[in-house]
Structure 1
Amino acid sequence: MADEGLNIYDEIEIEDMTFDPNLQIYTYPCPCGDRFEIAIDDLRDGEDIGVCPSCSLMIRVIFDAADLPKADA
């Protein structure tokens, strides 16, 4: 994925994020007071950019797809 035009605030290990099993999203605190979010389905699809819904900051999520929770069949 090209980083052109992206304002990547930081790179965060997925182990440092919080997983919400009901919403199926990973979150991480944003400096603005809200939380970066990325859906587990996006991670499974190879996306690695988490966004904050309240500001323009984004993070790159460092993860191994094999270590993600398995999808419910």
Structure 2
Amino acid sequence: MSYDDVEIEDMEWSEELQAYTFPCPCGDLFQITRDDLRLGEDVARCPSCSLYITVIYSAEDFAGGTGKQSLEPSKQQPVAVA
């Protein structure tokens, strides 16, 4: 049984870890990657303890491409038009 059910929108994207993260009671972070989500995985594990959470998300948002764009910071730069 998981520690909690967490919506993907409540998790944060970590560029450093290349994973969605959520605070764990032990002080570390639950982690799940985009690849895990594309494969249908819904369990984010804490690397420091035995706890894990169930991630609630829509599999269609992660099928194929690079993941749901609205869940990631934009990498586009503004362009000035003269």
* TM-score interval for Structure 1 and Structure 2 normalised by the shorter chain: 0.7 to 0.9
Instruction: Tell me the equivalent position of 1:3.
Output: none
Higher strand fraction (1 or 2): 1
Write out aligned runs for 1:30-41 (5 A).
30-41=24-35
> Which has the bigger relative contact order, CA under 8 A and spacing at least 6?
1
Please provide the CA RMSD for this pair. Answer: 2.1
**CA deviations over 1:42-73 (Å, ceiling 9, x no partner):** 0000000000000000000000022249329x
* Residue 59 of structure 1 pairs with residue 53 of structure 2: yes
Residue 66 of structure 2: which of 46, 53, 71 is its match? 71
Tell me which structure has the larger Cα radius of gyration: 2
- Displacement of 1:22: 5.2
Percentage of pairs with the same residue: 56
Stretches of structure 2 that go unaligned for 5 or more consecutive residues are: 68-82
Q: Secondary structure at the match of 1:8?
A: coil
Supply the distance in 1 between the matched residues of 2:40 and 2:15 (Cα, whole angstroms). Answer: 19
Stretches of structure 1 that go unaligned for 5 or more consecutive residues are: 1-6
**CA deviations over 1:5-49 (Å, ceiling 9, x no partner):** xx4100000000001245431000000000000111000000000
Q: Secondary structure at the match of 2:4?
A: strand
TM-score scaled by length of structure 1: 0.79
Runs of 4+ in 1 over 4 A off after TM superposition: none
